[in-house]
A and B are shown apart, each in its own frame.
Chain A
Amino acid sequence: MGRVTTFLTRTNGGTDSAQKIGVTDVLAYSYLLLGVLIILVPVFWTFFSSLKPERAIDNFDTRLLPIAQIEADIEGVGTKTVWEYTAEDGTVTDVYKAGPTRRETDVAPINDPTNIEAVDRDRLAPSEEMRVATENYLDPILKRNGQTNFQFGTYLFNSVFITVAATLITLLINAMAAFALSKYRFKGRLTFTLLIVATLLIPSSIILVSLFFVVWTFGIFGSLWGVIIPAAATPTGVFLLRQYMLTIPDELLEAARMDAASEWRIFWRIVLPLSLPALSVLAILSVIWRWNDFLWPLIVLISDPAKHTIQLGLTQYAGEFDQDFHYILAMTVVSLIPITLVFIWLQRFITTGIATTGLK
């Protein structure tokens, strides 16, 4: 018995160094299990729900698989749900309910809709099928079935445009500022550094109202640039890059100056390629910030539906059709997919990158 438990609880390692699973290991693994339950299950649940037909969603069917009652279009009656009627001799017929459900319910066979007869309620069972409801996704995207309000293409374009343009601008100007602060000695360097620290302490929600005035005065209110430009300079980005550029040896720069390279060329031919690891961390952070940004786009872009980002479009959509849960869930999954794919592709890089380069 003792040997069996030793065998079962042994962790990896040689026979000498192997340790038994301790209390802390058990606690750690149960914590991870709890994490799976709390973090992944809601996301997967949303995904599986989005594959269910409208009927299953409306009934809050909590089965995992997309099972729903079949609906049939019956001549002269309209669309009805199909039930299976098991007669006393064991034969099964597909019927629909021709009247309200009582102990004796009026039903008629699907292929003979006029032949109504009263049967025992207990002998009726819903006729179900398993079907992946692609229409949840395709209707809003292809604008079928009257779902014209979700301009998926426009939203996607706006979101991608804002994310890409803002990330490029952020990378360029933050790298420029970081280069100046890390590789030059000049009057006012400390002042500039302190100014950038100060911006770190000004939360964006405090300057919301007056930023609106500024953006309005610049004439970029209501355009995508009104979202891109105000947050393009990030103190986090400048510090992250500055910290990294300090590790680049000055000799490289001196050598380039010997070869009569201009300062701008030193910057983008030597310093930028060498600080690629820090730049990619900032790029990922910037993409997350911009793709998920909500409050500021809500203020700047809300009045013009053609300028909505995916997040705004989804909010408006969810607010407008509170009952059409099947479309809302499907569109939620659609807007979740790009960032999830990026994350799965780059996950090791993102987590180690932020943990080591970011915010030290």
Chain B
Amino acid sequence: MMTAKTMEHLILVILSMLVAFGPRFIPLRIFSTRDIPKWFNEWMKYVPVSLFTALVVKDVFINTGEGYVFTGIHNMAKIIASLIVIAVAYRSRSMGLSVILGLVAVTILAMFLPV
């Protein structure tokens, strides 16, 4: 049952765990006995929003299949669905609702607009 691909995936999972564990554990360990330096907090504050935006932009505005081409407003279904998700997230603050309505919106919009 253990194919080469499964083995490869298992190694990836273990490496991912290590990569995920470091940022969670090290600051927790250091700062449970010491105070947090201000510059560290100030810098870290903008990492999530920058990364999430970049990831959203990659999915909505970049065609990775044809060598990372900027698609402008071509993927209209995803653009409209994204606006819906932003509105739902802002009003409901609910993760589950935002994701589900986003999926529903993109499914419906994909029927008559390019994804």
Do A and B form a real pair?
Answer: no
Q: Which B residues fall within an 8 A CB radius of A?
A: none
